A = this chain, B = another copy of it.
Amino acid sequence: MPIVQFAPFSSLVQPSLWHKLSDLKIDVLKLSDHAISITGTYSIGRTVKDRETGREIGLPCNLSVGAEGFEEDHKPPHGSVVAVGSLKNYNTIEEFKAADKTALFNAEAQAIWDHVLKTRETSQLNRFLLITFADLKKYKYYYWFTFPAFVAKPAWEIGEEGWKSAAEELSDEQHWVQLRAIHAKLHTQTPVLPYFLIKKTPSAEGGVEIAPVEAYETFYASVPPEQQTIAFIDPSADPSNPGWPLRNLLAYLRALYPASTSRLRILRWRDSEPPASPNSGWKSQIGVLIQPGGEAAASTEGRPSAVGWEKNPQGKLGPRVADLAPMMDPTRLAAQAVDLNLKLMRWRILPELDLDKMSSARCLLLGAGTLGCYVARSLMGWGVRTITFVDSGKVSFSNPVRQPLFEFADCLDGGKPKAETAAAALGRIFPGINATGHTLSIPMPGHPIPPNAASQAQAKADVEKLERLIEEHDAVFLLMDSRESRWLPTVIAAAKGKIVLNAALGFDTYLVMRHGARTSSLSKGKDGKPHQRLGCYYCNDIVAPADSLTDRTLDQMCTVTRPGLAPIAAATAVELLASLLQHPEGLFAPAPPPTTNQTSTSESQDGLNSVLGTVPHQLRGFLNQFRTMPLVGAAYDKCTGCSETVLKAYETEGFPMLLKAFNDAKYLETLTGLDKLYDEGEGLLESVEWDEEEGEGDDDF
């Protein structure tokens, strides 16, 4: 008698599986290669008609796995059977290749066997293992399935009649009624029973009863063997070869009921829908399987040997590759790639890093010059999605070599507007960015607004636009090339409680600082102590900001700095923001005290550090010695930029107060009382003209 050949499972992986695996890998698994649970499904094997020959061709015995396989309570599609499995993702292609396939396989086979013996259940009979390596940089997924199947010794043979149509075989007279009944009973269950027992029961509807295989002893207690029909949902559409699930079912039966199972009447259930014509068209088949040697064959103890690694499309035992790159939307690919690079930080180095705090920070960049361009680039590197530029200038020929969002073409025909052009460049770099540019002149103290209606209205509109922009953002970067242009945003941002990062360049020195947050006597840190009120850009000044732009020579108008200074200062400002946002107290993060012992480790400063380290108040860089110096400066109660006097006057009076500050050189000094200080010659302070960024902080040296 011919030996029964079984049709193996053939994996069918939905692309959704790989997308989901990518997400899991990046966000959950990270470096773990522990196996995780996954489920697949299979259903009755389908045939298609060959267009040329008109013959029915059976499709492979697909075991389909998709993203939903990771869901714990996933409901399979109607008529499908769930197969449980596990997925083991390797960290490197080398590990994937070097994995001990024999050991992995044996462990799986053993798990199935142990489960059978322990629980007498069939739920793990179609258990599978999927090993993978996900090349997330290239969207290539290497994978290999194994579907362990136990090898019967001796092999099963099929009775002389072979596989016959169930409609013929099941009952000579009432086959249609019976099959209909089996169908109805089977398919009302969800998930469908993968294996079931059938017996004739004239009193039952359709004359048959069915039960799970687990009920074998009770259900067939008084049924003679020749009337027992054991059925399974057959994923194989091949007329002679039943699918893999039968193979393990046979092993299961032989292991648990060795006495009665060396000859079995098997129904390959293959009718997902009953045929239109009552008496013909049933696809299910029945055959009698015999294991030669009878009971003796099952008496050998221990687990039978097993096979099961899937062959690849080349017909070899080896992994398959899914290359998803060509089918992915490039914009989405870019977004995922950028995300990935950031999320990798959390795998090994900083699991506690909260990337969303940075990427969700809406950043307003006042100035789209050398600093503005470099700040935007580092922000993009951190995944920041909302970047807004404000600038009043146009791209000039000297800009592109120092301002990394502009090109030569942007300088032609008088130059494109910088803010809008920088925003457009961000879009070209990363389509997922939300970047906008506003050409806007920021009114400044020392630059009086001409006393005509149009100029006043323009200034008012400019102020309102700036107020709105600051309101709509979380962090404001002051990146302009003059001192006085920083005043208005300093005041507005302080009043609105926004984060302010300030960067200014000298020839080979820079200042990067965060403005202190407005505090009240009620605001306290997590340690219960009142918040320290740190200074702003103007806190060390003893005169109000004034016109420094008029009457400048060429070398004062241009950015005369060592070219490496701007990228260093800009990146430092962005990293300062990153550290600030990671600090539990955010805007109120305390500044580390200046320390002469620069080698003290950060660990000794509990409460000061974010997960990214210290959050300094000010940093002064000196490129002539490649040195950086952290500084701390307290807020000054006569400060023209952030003192309560100034903020309250702004909040109470609004635009008219600002107008006074723009027009009247002495207004801010009178308001804050700086003028009295000056008149009285208090202290030894003198009004000295410093280079742009050296106007404050010098006392700290």
| Chain A residues engaging chain B, CB cutoff 8 angstroms | 25, 30-31, 91-92, 94-95, 136-138, 325, 330-331, 333-334, 336-338, 340-341, 344-345, 347-350, 374, 377-378, 380-382, 396-398, 400-402, 404, 406-409, 411-412, 414, 428-431, 507-508, 550-555, 557-560, 562-568, 570-572, 574-576, 578, 598-599, 602, 609, 612-614, 616, 619, 622-630, 701
Contact = CB atoms under 8 A, between A and B. Distances in A.
Nearest to A622: B613
B429 A400 contact: yes
A433 to B, nearest CB: 9
Contact of A626 (B398, B401, B626, B628): B628
Contacts of A378: 563-564, 567
A697 to B, nearest CB: 15
A494 B144 CA distance: 48
A562 B578 contact: yes
A404 B377 contact: yes
Contacts of A430: 400-401, 408
A554 B397 contact: no
A630 B619 contact: no
A574 B401 CA distance: 14
Copies of this protein chain in the complex: 2
Given A340-B554, A374-B567, 17 more contacts: A91-B553, A91-B554, A137-B396, A334-B397, A338-B397, A338-B398, A350-B507, A377-B401, A378-B564, A380-B401, A407-B429, A408-B430, A562-B575, A567-B571, A568-B572, A619-B626, A627-B630
Nearest to A559: B341
A477 B567 CA distance: 18
B402 A431 contact: no
Nearest to A624: B613
A235 to B, nearest CB: 35
A481 to B, nearest CB: 13
A479 to B, nearest CB: 15
Nearest to A340: B398
A330 B404 contact: no
A513 to B, nearest CB: 11
Interchain residue pairs A-B with the least CB separation, the first 3 = A381-B563, A613-B624, A564-B571
A308 B627 CA distance: 57
A350 B560 CA distance: 11
B625 A614 contact: yes
A508 B429 contact: no
A630 B627 CA distance: 8
A625 B411 CA distance: 39
A334 B411 contact: yes
Nearest to A611: B624
A134 to B, nearest CB: 8
B558 A340 contact: yes
Contact of A628 (B574, B616, B627): B627
A599 B700 CA distance: 12
Contacts of A625: 598, 602, 613-614, 630
Contact of A381 (B31, B382, B401): B401
Contacts of A429: 400-401, 406-408
Nearest to A30: B555
Contacts of A382: 563
A382 B401 CA distance: 9
Contacts of A404: 377, 404
A578 B396 CA distance: 25
Nearest to A346: B555
26 contacts: A137-B396, A137-B557, A138-B396, A325-B414, A330-B412, A334-B397, A338-B398, A341-B398, A341-B559, A341-B560, A344-B560, A345-B507, A347-B554, A347-B560, A377-B404, A401-B429, A408-B430, A564-B571, A564-B575, A565-B571, A566-B571, A567-B570, A568-B571, A612-B623, A614-B625, A627-B628
A430 B409 CA distance: 9
Contacts of A612: 508, 562, 623-624
Nearest to A412: B330
A428 B409 contact: yes
* Residue from A344, A402, A411, A619 having most chain B Cβ neighbours under 10 A: A344
B560 A349 contact: yes
Given A397-B337, A564-B574, A614 B619 contact: no
Contacts of A397: 330, 333-334, 336-338
Nearest to A407: B428
B428 A408 contact: yes
Contacts of A338: 397-398, 401
A634 to B, nearest CB: 20
A550 B402 contact: no
A638 to B, nearest CB: 29
A370 to B, nearest CB: 9
A333 B622 CA distance: 32
A75 B524 CA distance: 81
Contacts of A508: 612-613
Contact of A551 (B92, B396, B564): B92
A18 to B, nearest CB: 15
A413 to B, nearest CB: 9
B626 A614 contact: yes
Nearest to A429: B400
The listed residue with most B CB atoms (<10 A of its CB), out of A397, A404, A559, A565, is A397
A570 B381 CA distance: 15
A337 to B, nearest CB: 4
A400 to B, nearest CB: 5
B31 A330 contact: no
A559 B345 CA distance: 9
A555 B602 contact: no
B381 A337 contact: no
Contacts of A381: 401-402, 563-564
Nearest to A332: B397
Contacts of A333: 397, 411
Contacts of A609: 624
A153 B2 CA distance: 139
Contacts of A341: 398, 402, 558-560
Nearest to A629: B598
Contacts of A562: 345, 575, 578, 612
Given A400-B429, A428-B408, A602-B624, A555 B613 contact: no
Contacts of A408: 330-331, 334, 428-431
A344 B555 contact: yes
A558 B380 CA distance: 17
